[in-house]
Amino acid sequence: MIEIKNISKSFKDKQVLFDVSGKFEKGRTNLIIGASGTGKSVLLKCLVGLLEPDVGSVLFDGRDFSRANKKLTTEIRREIGMLFQGSALFDSKNVEENVKFPLDILTDTPEKEKLEKVNHCLELVGLNKVNQKMPSELSGGMKKRVGIARAIVNDSKYLFCDEPNSGLDPLTAIKIDDLILELTQKLNTTTIVVTHDMNSVVEIGEYIMFLHEGKKLWEGNNKKILKTNIKQLNEFVFSNKLMKKIK
Amino acid sequence: MISLLERREKFRTYFSLTINECIKIGYDSLFIVSIVSIFMGAVTTIQTAFNLVGPLIPDYVISLVVRDMTLLELSPTIIAIVFAGKVGSNIAGELGTMRITEQIDALEVMGVNSSSYLVLPKIIASLLMFPILVIISATLAIGGGYLAGVLTDVITGQEYIYGLRYEFNPFNIPFALVKSYVFAFIVASISSFQGYYTSGGALEVGKSSTNAVTNSCIAILIADYVLAQVLL
């Protein structure tokens, strides 16, 4: 479980996050949603340690990440898998090397076992016979899948996904959502997904935190979100014509 | 700089990365270094002959001038500027692109010290390869001078070799090597810094590459003056 307590973050004079707290349980997909510029990605970066919150703490199963010494920071980071918005695959490495990278760097696993694990993870994300391809030869959806395979290859306990559906067609986006949900349940990870995609909210939102102008305005799940009376959340959820008609 | 030495990965990781960088930085620069060096030596020979022609000055002075200019200044400094243009811009561009495409963030999230993992092998490889490039450059420049001198009848082969040996100061070689180590460190560290701290998009990556080259060139020229003042 990941718990955040009273997170605030500002850049120079501009405060981006205001006293955000919440609990992200293990084995379910936790979503952080909100319009662009509301601080979702900043919150995610605070969670994974790429940014340091000004105030507040991030607890990974009770271990305070924001005040951790270097040893504990490295220990926690090695339990984290992250899918970046642009996949962040290493351009100079092929698919197999990209997925194998955390094992090469962080473990002493024999090469044969590493390759078995890589192939298993690629199979889990539905990719076959792409081991030798370079990232530039892959489609957007395939890159995301490789990114997910790399994120889970080291038996990560915590899986973070930053806008996993951005730049994907609706069908591929649904497949990626299903994959994240399936992996979370199968591997029992604490999964946090930052998104503003309403399909994801409806499909996989087992826990949803809604951010508005840097503040947590609402939390609940995909069933409750369609019945809320909060104006800002309604504007976000029913922003397109289709959702308005459904309402 | 301190962060380069913190939270390091396994030795074999750095070993393979450094070998790869040595190939990229050293071997891949051989062609341009060779071309520049041969012509540098050839032009120096012709221009020295043009300026020193006269009955009181013996011809072997031409190769003496080529030798000393090559060892003291041309090979370490001009090749360092070529090195900054080729390798420096490449390092800054590569790291800058990795930064804006979140590849550096990905390393950090995995618990890898990204600066140590990405920058340290480049600095070590530069320190290993650039002095070798300077030695090759000096050899080729002197060879280029010989060819130009002999083919244009400016100087005979015998006189050229006599001039190369005449009143040779052996300190010039360690001086050139000291310069090459300093310049290699300057180019690798400035370029890595510019690339690693890129923020923004493709435009900023281009700016980082340009800054890497211009800042490296200025730093090389300042270091060149300081080293000459201190060591000679």
Residue A97 sits in the same domain as residue A175: no
Minimal C-alpha gap between B91 and chain A (Å): 14
**The domain containing residue A200 runs over which residues?**
2-79+157-246
Percent of chain A residues topping a pLDDT of 90: 51
Quick one: pLDDT at residue A68?
Answer: 84
Quick one: pLDDT at residue B218?
Answer: 97
Quick one: pLDDT at residue A72?
Answer: 87
Quick one: pLDDT at residue A238?
Answer: 78
Residue A92 sits in the same domain as residue A130: yes
Residue A62 sits in the same domain as residue A92: no
Quick check: A221 pLDDT over 70?
Answer: yes
**The domain containing residue B198 runs over which residues?**
2-231
Lookup result for tokens 């949603």: A33
Minimal C-alpha gap between A179 and chain B (Å): 21
Residue A152 sits in the same domain as residue A162: no
Quick one: pLDDT at residue A136?
Answer: 93
Domain boundary among A113, A131, A156: A156
**ipTM above 0.85?**
yes
Residue A14 sits in the same domain as residue A54: yes
Instruction: Report the distance separating Cα B54 and Cα A217, nearest Å.
Output: 90
Quick check: A224 pLDDT over 90?
Answer: no
Residue A194 sits in the same domain as residue A183: yes
Quick one: pLDDT at residue A168?
Answer: 80
Quick one: pLDDT at residue A67?
Answer: 82
pLDDT in tens, A134-178: 999 999 889 999 999 999 898 899 999 998 888 788 888 888 888
Quick check: A66 pLDDT over 90?
Answer: no
Quick one: pLDDT at residue A167?
Answer: 78
Q: Using CB atoms, which residue from A50, A90, A101 is nearest to B105? A: A50
A237 versus A210: the higher-pLDDT residue is A210
Quick one: pLDDT at residue B5?
Answer: 65
Number of domains chain A is built from: 2
Q: Using CB atoms, which residue from A78, A82, A104 is nearest to B106? A: A82
Name the pLDDT band for A216 (thresholds 50, 70, 90). Answer: very high
Domain boundary among A156, A186, A204: A156
Residue A230 sits in the same domain as residue A242: yes
Instruction: Report the distance separating Cα B196 and Cα B194, nearest Å.
Output: 6
Mean pLDDT of all residues belonging to chain A: 89
Quick one: pLDDT at residue A155?
Answer: 86
CATH of the domain at A56: 3.40.50.300
Quick one: pLDDT at residue A193?
Answer: 94
Residue A66 sits in the same domain as residue A37: yes
Residues A211-235 have a mean pLDDT of: 87
Residue A138 sits in the same domain as residue A185: no
Number of domains chain B is built from: 1
The DSSP symbol for B231 reads H
Instruction: Report the distance separating Cα A42 and Cα B126, nearest Å.
Output: 37
The encoded tokens of residue B70 equal 């090559």
Residue A172 sits in the same domain as residue A227: yes
| Residue of chain A whose alpha carbon sits nearest to that of B99 | A88
Lookup result for tokens 């990204």: B114
Residue A148 sits in the same domain as residue A93: yes
Q: Whose CA is closest to B192, among B121, B106, B101? A: B121
Residues A168-196 have a mean pLDDT of: 88
Minimal C-alpha gap between B204 and chain A (Å): 18
Residue A171 sits in the same domain as residue A73: yes
Q: Using CB atoms, which residue from A89, A105, A154 is nearest to B9? A: A105
Quick check: A75 pLDDT over 90?
Answer: no
Which one of A47, A84, A114, A160 makes the best mutation probe of the B interface by having the most chain B beta carbons within 10 Å?
Answer: A84
Write out residues in chain B with pLDDT < 70, as ranges.
Answer: 1-8
Q: Whose CA is closest to B71, among B147, B178, B155? A: B178
Whole-model pTM?
Answer: 0.87
Domain boundary among A136, A156, A176: A156
Q: For residue A57, list its beta bridge partners.
A: A5
